[in-house]
Amino acid sequence: MKIIGTGSARPSMRVTNSMLENFLDTNDEWIVTRTGIHERRVISNENLEDMAADAANKALADAGITSDQVDFIICSNVVNEFVTPGLGCIIQGKIGATCPTVDINCACTGFLYALDIAESFLITKDMNNILIVCAEEPSRMMDWRDRSSCILFGDAAGAVVVTKGDDLKAIRLSTHCKVEALYQKRRLQPTPFLNKEEDDGGVIMNGQEVFKLAVSSSIKDIDTVLSVAGMTADDIDLYVLHQANVRIIEAIRHFVKQDKEKFPVNLDKYGNTSSASIPALLDDLSRGNMLKRGEMLLLSAFGAGFTTGAAVLRWSK
Ligand code: UT7
């Protein structure tokens, strides 16, 4: 496969750290030092469905194709206002496509899982263009009284169009069931037969455990994809990592012993946008002319599950 188009969309509302000080026992200095985040975008009057369709349309325009040329849509999403139908079905209607769609919920690692599914479908099925849309509104999952989690996240959508090609040099996905590290439960509709209590509330996260899992698993994944691709860390031009915490990115950077310039960061402006983080960053880099044809990218992400994934991808757009 190869990526031929990128797009992204973000809510208009900028929420700065100092705005959080109005209702949380926190401060800009703590948030910046511990995370690198200065502000994030949060949905106010937008719908995630519209943002997802906007990102998708931008990716199609960038790829130079129309929605009737899309053969399959993979939508990565954890939560949106619709329990059913899947967000992919709604995006299909909004962009005027007619192809089948599937939704996946692999938390922050969703883009890597979607890439691997797309690669398999391009090889095994008679398909040319696959649209991947990662659309997330983690702001609607948080308990906004919990200062250790709500400060981290922002909402966004990121999309790419992939077609047949030879750019994916290696990919590795993994899941290690560790629900208690990061989860959210919700209360479902009552029934006349229900005889148990159900939890309802915001995301529960053990930040330090997630931090350690993120660094240790990313390092392992990076080692694996580099060796599958027959490359060393020096051969990678840019490390496009999941934007969760600048300290996690720094820890990974120290492991691969590479210069800071190889690690683009936009979490200072957008926070952690779950699976939208890598495709939206790719779009920022591409539109900012910061990606050169032939460059080797290493993508790596981690999230609730615990899911992780990494890939070596040549940029040939
Ligand atoms: O996509 C995956 C999503 N999740 C993540 O990426 C999370 C990964 N983990 C992290 O990024 C970090 O663990 C956090 C940023 C969540 C927390 O940083 P930390 O350095 O691990 O801090 P900590 O949890 O050890 O807390 C240190 C102190 C505590 O106070 P005491 O017990 O030392 O008095 C916390 O209560 O900082 C306090 N604290 C805060 N203080 C001001 C926690 N949150 C805040 C806050 N403002 N927002």
- 6 pairs with which residues across the strands? 160
- Rounded to an integer, the average pLDDT of 267-294 is 98
Question: For residue 108, which atom of ligand 1 is closest to its CA?
Answer: 1
pLDDT in tens, 27-77: 999 999 999 999 999 999 999 999 999 999 999 999 999 999 999 999 999
Residue nearest to atom 12 of ligand 1 (CA): 207
| Helix 48-63 / helix 277-287 crossing angle, nearest 10 deg | 40
Q: Return the best residue to mutate from 34, 35, 184, 307 for the ligand 1 pocket (most ligand atoms within 8 A of CB).
A: 34
Query: Which two structure tokens, joined as six digits, stand for 283?
Result: 């779009």
26 C-beta closer than 6 A to ligand 1: yes
Q: Which amino acid is at 238?
A: L
Q: How many CB atoms lie within 10 A of CB 26?
A: 16
The model's pTM = 0.97
Q: Which of 219, 226, 195 is nearest to 308 (CA)?
A: 219
Residue 251: the pLDDT is 98
Residue 38: the pLDDT is 98
Question: For residue 274, which atom of ligand 1 is closest to its CA?
Answer: 1
Set 106, 108, 134, 150: catalytic member: 108
Residue 29: the pLDDT is 98
110 C-beta closer than 6 A to ligand 1: no
Return the residue matching tokens 């659309």: 135
Residue 168: the pLDDT is 98
pLDDT in tens, 185-210: 999 999 999 999 998 999 999 999 99
Alpha helices of 96-166 — where are they, by DSSP H? 110-124
pLDDT in tens, 107-137: 999 999 999 999 999 999 999 999 999 999 9
Give 250's pLDDT tier (boundaries 50, 70, 90).
very high
Give 156's pLDDT tier (boundaries 50, 70, 90).
very high
Show the CA angle centred on residue 286, arms to residues 281 and 287, nearest 5°.
Answer: 100
Is 129 known to be catalytic? no
Q: Estimate the share of the chain in helix, then strand, then coil, as percent rounded to the nearest 5.
A: 40, 25, 40
Q: What is the dihedral of CA 68, 81, 105, 41, to 10 degrees?
A: 90
33 C-beta closer than 6 A to ligand 1: no
Residue 167: the pLDDT is 98
Helix (H) or strand (E) holding 88: helix 87-95
Residue 170: the pLDDT is 98
Dist. CA 57–CA 305, nearest whole Å:
30
Residues 6+ apart with CB under 8 A from 190: none
Residue nearest to atom 25 of ligand 1 (CA): 208
Find the 55 Cα to ligand 1 centroid distance in Å.
32
Q: How far is CA 249 from CA 211, 218, 267, 305, in A?
A: 10, 10, 11, 20
Find the 111 Cα to ligand 1 centroid distance in Å.
26
Return the residue matching tokens 């455990």: 209
303 C-beta closer than 6 A to ligand 1: yes
Residue nearest to atom 2 of ligand 1 (CA): 303
